[in-house]
Structure 1
Amino acid sequence: MALKTLGAKAAAALDKELMSTGAFSIDQLMELAGLSVSQVVYRVHPIHKGHRVLVACGPGNNGGDGLVAARHLRQYGYQPTVYYPRRSKNDLYQRLAKQLEDLDVPFVEDFPEALKSTDHIVDALFGFSFSGEVREPFPAVIKALEETNLPVTSVDAPSSWNIEDGPPKTGLGSSFHPEYLISLTAPKPLVKYFKGRHFVGGRFVAPSIAKKYDFDIPEYQGIDQIVEVSPADEKL
């Protein structure tokens, strides 16, 4: 079964629908998304491989998912560090940051420096709504992600990639290929350019909404919030 993808406009419309007819709050969706991200890290990088995780958070919802993931990782026993240079003044994001501070999760200012003392990276900078240029202070972060030998898990989209067209053809981000990707709710068209291990998370979508947006809900097992997608399912 080839997995159907959801373009940027459809993904935005689906988010709105989940929060209107679906009756979810943004807090709930972010919590479930971040929980899914944390489960991917636990799956691909168990604690015995190294407990230090650097979570890079952008200013939007993708960054919020990263903040939630960092909290869950801390509760699992990892030692997350958070890079969050453009903090949102939105109440939800401030509460998520406060929850991390209460758990003594450090926030760092220098991403390339923080890379020197971590074992795994979560890229939660930009999601499906990203377009245009990478603005400061993020170009140095994308460059560091391109150059690192550490494993990277990207949330919904490898940051700097175009949702439809994948990595930039040249320049910044063109050689950024994370090892792991978690698609939230449904895969985006860029997955056809992704060569690593791919997971889907989003165990909250009602069948009626999935039918309306013409995508399939994967078969989640047990208490898992994630499903690994085999390369055979990627024939999009």
Structure 2
Amino acid sequence: MSGAAGPDPEEAPEEQRFLSAAEAAALERELLEDYRFGRQQLVELCGHASAVAVTKVFPLPALSRKQRMVLVVCGPEQNGAVGLVCARHLRVFEYEPTIFYPTRSLDPLHRDLTTQCEKMDIPFLSYLPTEVQLINNAYGLVVDAVLGPGVEPGEVGGPCTRALATLKLLSIPLVSLDIPSGMPGWDAETGGDAEDGLRPDVLVSLAAPKRCAGRFSGRHHFVAGRFVPDDVRRKFALRLPGYTGTDCVAAL
């Protein structure tokens, strides 16, 4: 990985830089191994920022009671952990989240985050409602935290695969964390967007945009990477937008 300095990370660039899957993994290793970020710390930062991004697009005072009801669909990998944190912060922000987490990880971090949500009285669904039930019942918004970069649907089990099939059909707003789930519909490396991939209204890129984000055609794209140190931004030639005030997310 080249150490050449990139543009000033606080300047809004004309052309965005997107990370390949290998570069995204290397950036995370740098944060974990060189800067000594803890995995739980990164998940917490990303989950909190994801919840803040939701508040930017769907501000609470503008929402009806039904629109405040948020379904967060979590997978068993790291993106699912970010989703659990996002749900907890949405509850703190006075939204009304419900979690569908069909394939629970045995990882201690996931178990701790699940306990935190349960103790905050965030409901967990035992099954995902059908498309018609989702639209007609309670939810005004769905957060997709099923898959992350490099995770194929078949790796996380049938319930997650079936959940993705339902999410593809929804006409209610969809927010995807890091990359839209459902590869090869969205391939973190090639950026392909085949017919079977999720097409979210909002994408929240974690740390930096991945290559698939170059073909995102939804309404809002945020980056949640203010925690990335300047040296790391320069090393990976990240051309991130400026963050306003104390905001932890920025619009792309």
Describe the SS at the equivalent of 1:198: strand
Contact 2:153 2:160 (8 Å CA) reproduced: no
Give the letter for the 2:44 counterpart. Answer: E
Contact 2:49 2:224 (8 Å CA) reproduced: yes
* Cα shift readout 1:145-164 (whole Å, capped 9, x = no counterpart): 11111100000100012113
Pairwise CA distance, 1:112: 2.9
* Aligned equivalent of 2:46: 33
Describe the SS at the equivalent of 2:36: coil
Please give the alpha-carbon distance, in whole angstroms, between the structure 1 residues aligned to 2:107 and 2:161.
24
* Aligned equivalent of 1:81: 98
Pairwise CA distance, 1:167: 5.0
* Aligned equivalent of 1:210: 233
Contact 1:205 1:217 (8 Å CA) reproduced: no
Q: Does 1:164 align with 2:189?
A: yes
Describe the SS at the equivalent of 1:183: strand
Q: Which has the greater radius of gyration?
A: 2
Tell me which moved more, 158-167 or 191-200.
158-167
Of all paired residues, the percent bearing the same amino acid is 37
Contact 1:54 1:81 (8 Å CA) reproduced: yes
Contact 1:45 1:120 (8 Å CA) reproduced: no
Describe the SS at the equivalent of 2:44: helix
Q: Does 1:130 align with 2:151?
A: yes
Please give the alpha-carbon distance, in whole angstroms, between the structure 1 residues aligned to 2:102 and 2:138.
18
| Runs (4+) off by over 6 Å | none
Contact 2:177 2:204 (8 Å CA) reproduced: yes
Q: 1:223 to 1:151 in 2, by over 3 A?
A: same
Describe the SS at the equivalent of 1:40: helix
TM-score between the two structures when normalised by the length of structure 1: 0.90
Question: 5+ residue gaps in structure 1?
Answer: 230-236
* Aligned equivalent of 1:45: 58
Please give the alpha-carbon distance, in whole angstroms, between the structure 1 residues aligned to 2:192 and 2:72.
21
Question: 5+ residue gaps in structure 2?
Answer: 1-12
* Aligned equivalent of 2:7: none
TM-score between the two structures when normalised by the length of structure 2: 0.85
**1:193 is matched with which residue: 188, 191, 215?**
215
* Aligned equivalent of 1:144: 166
- Number of corresponding residues: 226
Describe the SS at the equivalent of 2:16: coil
* Cα shift readout 1:25-57 (whole Å, capped 9, x = no counterpart): 011111110011101111111224221000000
* Aligned equivalent of 1:227: 250
